[in-house]
Amino acid sequence: MVEIGQVLLAAPRSFCAGVDRAIEIVEILLEQHGAPVYVRHQIVHNDHVVRRLEGLGAVFVDHENEIPAGAICVLSAHGVAPSVRANCEARGLRVVDAVCPLVSKVHAEARRYADSGHLVALVGHADHVEVIGTRGERPEATVVVESPADAAKLDAGGKPIAVITQTTLSLDDVAETVDALGERFGDLKRPAADDICYATQNRQDAVKELAKQGATMILVIGSETSSNARRLVEVAERNGATALLIDGESGIDPELLAGHETVGVTAGASTPEELVALVLRGLASFGYDELGEVEVRQGERQLPPSAGGHKPGMTSVEVPYSIASALPSLTVLDITNEIRRELNTSGQEKRDRVRLTPRRGGARARAGAGVRLLRRPRGAARPARSPGGARAGAAALHAARPTRRADPVRRR
């Protein structure tokens, strides 16, 4: 156990806008229609979220044929091929689309590029459910490119190349493969900047900053099934830190923290914020009693007005205009988990969905470049790091932070 330890918390972290939207759709359906509500595939790749929704009455299935005729079928955030939708319609299922709007936009681009005579190079993992769905739009004109080696041997058959990417991969993740395609084929048709969702990139950049600010151990909260959480571990390791993927519920072995004075904490885009709070409380009990935040923002844009004409005084660091304008009912999307949402139903009913307690101005002392101090005893200066200098009251510093889902169905 350390005498005095510091935790650096990454921002952004946890739910991205597409994940939050998908989960909320299932919750609203359960509230309005009751159980069961069937969901094709895991709504998002997080075991905690899936178990919680199952407890509320959601039933997750691997194939739409497992759903009784006429029942509600929610399509997960990762998207599906057109053949799945067609089969749902043929079986009389009541389909509710919880697909991430950015994924839907990538699907549209796959169709547009293929229909204009391009060979669509889909950069991603062939076995990922999102890639399977995207390729299903135009399978005869789409090829999955997983690596620079795949790019080097790709035969375009004389067609021009258009590149689209798996959304759970960052710009950094795909850069080498896209560059290899460019070297082989010259000019590529690439998505415009406004098509980029920065959720994955921002979370990875925040992890890089954690390592830069001195975190020698970085804990990534997420499930093994989460592609973006596993990438965060890889990014941490590439930047010189020791990294662990933890589920956030099973506790932390203090022996794993031995020798690490500064621990970084982040969470994948499918991980709820309440698991972050659990991990912080666990770290506090081991003596990591100072909490700072490392914040990275890229691709910041002001969101357009909602359908009702209200323009929030906030920006989105992750959602491009092209996506935000396609969601006029959602006026503010994810901003480092400190957001106010309004949901317009048919332009009439407006409901506040989530309001997290803002950081108090008095807790914004700088603890180093790029680090914002969040927890320290009132009036107390940071003591020297010396043996026997431990401070009492670590758990009090990490008292339960506001969680996103105090009421799992009604979050108003």
Phi, psi of 161 (to 5 degrees): -105, 135
CB atoms within 10 A of CB 357: 8
Please, which residues have CB within 8 angstroms of residue 131's CB and are 6 or more apart in sequence? Answer: 122, 124, 125, 144, 166
Taking the C-alpha atoms of 325, 329, 332 and 336 in order, what is their torsion angle to the nearest 10 degrees? Answer: -100
DSSP letter assigned to residue 305: P
**Measuring CA to CA, how many Å separate 212 from each of 203, 307, 325, 368, 370?**
14, 42, 36, 11, 10
Selecting among 27, 109, 130, 273, the annotated active-site residue is: 130
- Using alpha carbons, select from 257, 237, 236, 274 the residue that is nearest to residue 408: 274
Rounded CA separation 12/206 (Å): 7
| Residue 261 annotated among the catalytic residues of the structure | no
Residue whose tokens read 């799945």: 84
3-state secondary structure 204-271: HHHHHHHHHCCCCEEEEECCCCCHHHHHHHHHHHHCCCEEEEECCCCCCCHHHHCCCCEEEEEECCCC
Rounded CA separation 404/388 (Å): 37
The sign of the dihedral angle between the CA atoms of 222, 223, 227, 230 is positive
Rounded CA separation 186/113 (Å): 17
Strand partners, 226: none
Helix (H) or strand (E) holding 324: helix 321-324
Rounded CA separation 223/226 (Å): 5
**Contact present, 204 and 171 (Cβ < 8 Å):** no
- Using alpha carbons, select from 294, 264, 283 the residue that is nearest to residue 371: 294
> Active-site residues: which are they?
130
